[in-house]
């Protein structure tokens, strides 16, 4: 039990569990992954639901209080400065794409970043079009009509994020060390991107308009997702790679599309991203949003082995039987049980569910949907559930292989995917060297790393 071990003993135990799991070796037990959104954290501890958006360090007293009860093998809280969406950076830039709601969550309303007549410009200019046309529409303080204000606002936002990072992260790291949490991989080994079709629908054309475009501008849609593919590749690249390196892809559109359109317009570019992730030793971590039961064959046939699939809806037995030997599965435990079941019944439901998902290893217990605010679930009941999952989810055949390792297909790295983007805005070493002949070759890597950071800052405004 956790209370009988010091942090270093806990860390060693947890590190081995995760190391074995991601090397397709059955660990002694399933790792416990608890998760709470920051608005829920604030609500459970009686804090103002808005304050953490402007000073994330105020959450630490709440963290400490909740961690006295909640078991997890990884930190249950997402750092606002890295993963979650604090409102401040969006508000500074005048975002209409990400907006703070009264419940303390930053929400993404349906927005249109480009009109249909601009497909040729997106296809031709790619990243430059996003910077010059789309971002100023989605962020009102980033308009080129007032370049001085734009430049000052950008620096203000960058400074605010850096200051938050410097104040928050040392405390966060200290808390994780104190609790002996597995760190989930070296800092910088996680990435985020979208399937090119999802990015086109989500940030550029909107849910309603992309459906019209598929019918009326099909060839332009096909060209656009091809043009977006190298951008999404660069967006998702983690700076460092270790055995837990991953790129998170939330898949939005396929359940609203005909299978013919998914196969012709959605999958070819997304499949290329996944295969190149695998070839580079980076694991695609995919949120299968909504019910993909009708796409089970497509997932099995088209997704690379070793992907982590976080499943939203569907029959657990059907997904386990079809996908469990090729992929690592997460999710599917109905969050609704937290509202409708008392604790004994909840634990019975968890046992019934785990009896389906545990055999053969390759599963990580998580809800299909998580608690967003404190009123979504009883915190004490959640603690009872995580304790049960820890104590029940043991494998008798620890040390034996399971599943299918990442890149079992032997995908090869495609040099084309790593070529620099066509852009007049991004840094180009040859042009820089021609203008600055005294610059040593040794400075190239540093400047290109800075260029990658600048690219990430811009593209993440649309993530």
pLDDT digits (tens, 9 = 90+) for 62-106: 999 999 999 999 999 988 766 668 999 999 999 999 999 988 889
Is the Cβ–Cβ distance between 153 and 92 less than 8 Å? yes
Provide the pLDDT confidence category of residue 2 given band limits of 50, 70 and 90: low
Domain assignment present for residue 212? The answer is yes
pLDDT at 132 > cutoff 90: yes
What residues pair up with 329 in beta bridges, in sequence order?
A: 309, 363
Per-residue b/e over 340-356, b at no fewer than 16 CB within 10 Å? ebeeeebbebbeebbeb
Give the lowest-confidence range in 30-34, 128-132, 369-373. 369-373
d(CA 118, CA 133): 10
Give the rounded percent of residues in the chain with a pLDDT score beyond 70. Answer: 98
Give the rounded percent of residues in the chain with a pLDDT score beyond 90. Answer: 86
Supply the mean pLDDT for the chain.
94
Domain assignment present for residue 441? The answer is yes
Domain assignment present for residue 6? The answer is no
User: How would you class 260 by CB atoms within 10 Å of its CB: exposed for 0-12, middle for 13-18, buried for 19 or more?
Assistant: exposed
Domain assignment present for residue 109? The answer is no
Instruction: Kindly give the pairing relationship between strand 106-107 and strand 99-100.
Output: antiparallel
Q: Give the pLDDT mean for 204-211.
A: 95
Output helix, strand, coil percentages for the chain, rounded to the nearest 5: 55, 10, 35
Q: Give the pLDDT mean for 265-284.
A: 98
Q: What pLDDT score does 82 carry?
A: 62
Domain assignment present for residue 370? The answer is no
The domain total for the chain is 1
Q: Give the pLDDT mean for 185-207.
A: 91
Dihedral angle, C-alpha 228, 84, 305, 332, nearest 10 °: -120
Instruction: For 308-332, write each residue's pLDDT tens digit.
Output: 999 999 999 999 999 999 999 999 9
pLDDT at 188 > cutoff 80: no
Provide the pLDDT confidence category of residue 49 given band limits of 50, 70 and 90: confident
Domain assignment present for residue 419? The answer is yes
Range of the domain at 459: 117-138+185-332+406-463
Is the Cβ–Cβ distance between 271 and 225 less than 8 Å? no
Domain assignment present for residue 154? The answer is no
Q: What pLDDT score does 105 carry?
A: 86
Q: Taking the CA of residue 95 as centre, how many other CA atoms within 13 Å lie in the half-sphere pointing to its CB? A: 24
Domain assignment present for residue 170? The answer is no
């Amino acid at each position: 039990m956790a209370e009988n071990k010091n942090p270093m003993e806990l860390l060693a135990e947890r590190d081995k569990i995760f190391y074995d799991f991601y090397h397709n070796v059955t660990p002694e037990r399933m790792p416990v992954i608890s998760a709470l959104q920051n608005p829920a954290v604030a609500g459970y501890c009686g804090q103002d639901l808005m304050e953490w958006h402007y000073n994330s360090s105020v959450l630490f007293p709440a963290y400490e209080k909740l961690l006295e009860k909640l078991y997890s093998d990884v930190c249950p809280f997402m750092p606002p400065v890295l993963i979650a969406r604090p409102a401040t950076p969006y508000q500074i830039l005048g975002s209409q794409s990400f907006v703070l709601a009264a419940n303390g969550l930053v929400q993404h309303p349906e927005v249109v970043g480009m009109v249909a007549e601009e497909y040729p410009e997106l296809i031709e200019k790619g990243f430059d079009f996003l910077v010059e046309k789309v971002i100023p529409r989605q962020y009102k303080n980033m308009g080129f009509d007032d370049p001085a204000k734009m430049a000052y606002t950008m620096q203000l936002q960058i400074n605010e994020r850096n200051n938050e990072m410097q104040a928050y992260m040392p405390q966060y790291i200290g808390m994780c060390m104190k609790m002996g949490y597995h760190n989930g991989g070296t800092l910088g080994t996680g990435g985020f991107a979208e399937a090119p079709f999802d990015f086109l629908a989500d940030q550029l054309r909107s849910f309603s308009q992309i459906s019209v475009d598929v019918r009326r501008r099909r060839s332009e849609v096909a060209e656009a997702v091809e043009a977006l593919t190298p951008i999404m590749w660069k967006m998702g690249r983690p700076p460092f790679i270790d055995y837990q390196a991953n790129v998170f892809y939330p898949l939005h559109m396929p359940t609203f599309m005909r299978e013919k359109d998914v196969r012709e317009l959605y999958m070819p570019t997304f499949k290329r991203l996944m295969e190149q992730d695998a070839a580079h030793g980076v694991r695609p971590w995919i949120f299968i949003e909504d019910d993909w039961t009708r796409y089970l064959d497509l997932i099995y046939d088209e997704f690379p082995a070793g992907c982590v699939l976080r499943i939203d809806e569907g029959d657990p037995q059907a997904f386990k039987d079809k996908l469990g030997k090729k992929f690592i599965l997460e999710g599917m435990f109905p969050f609704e049980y937290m509202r409708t079941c008392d604790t004994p019944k909840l634990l019975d439901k968890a046992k019934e569910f785990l009896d389906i998902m545990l055999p053969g290893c390759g599963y990580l217990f998580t809800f299909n949907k998580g608690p967003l605010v404190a009123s979504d679930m009883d915190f004490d009941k959640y603690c009872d559930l995580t304790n049960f999952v820890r104590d029940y989810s043991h494998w008798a055949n620890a040390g034996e292989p399971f599943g299918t390792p990442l890149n079992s297909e032997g995908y090869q790295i495609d040099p084309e995917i790593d070529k620099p983007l066509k852009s007049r805005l991004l840094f180009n070493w040859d042009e820089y060297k021609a203008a600055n002949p005294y610059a040593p070759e040794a400075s190239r890597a540093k400047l290109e790393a800075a260029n990658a950071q600048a690219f990430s800052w811009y593209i993440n405004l649309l993530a």
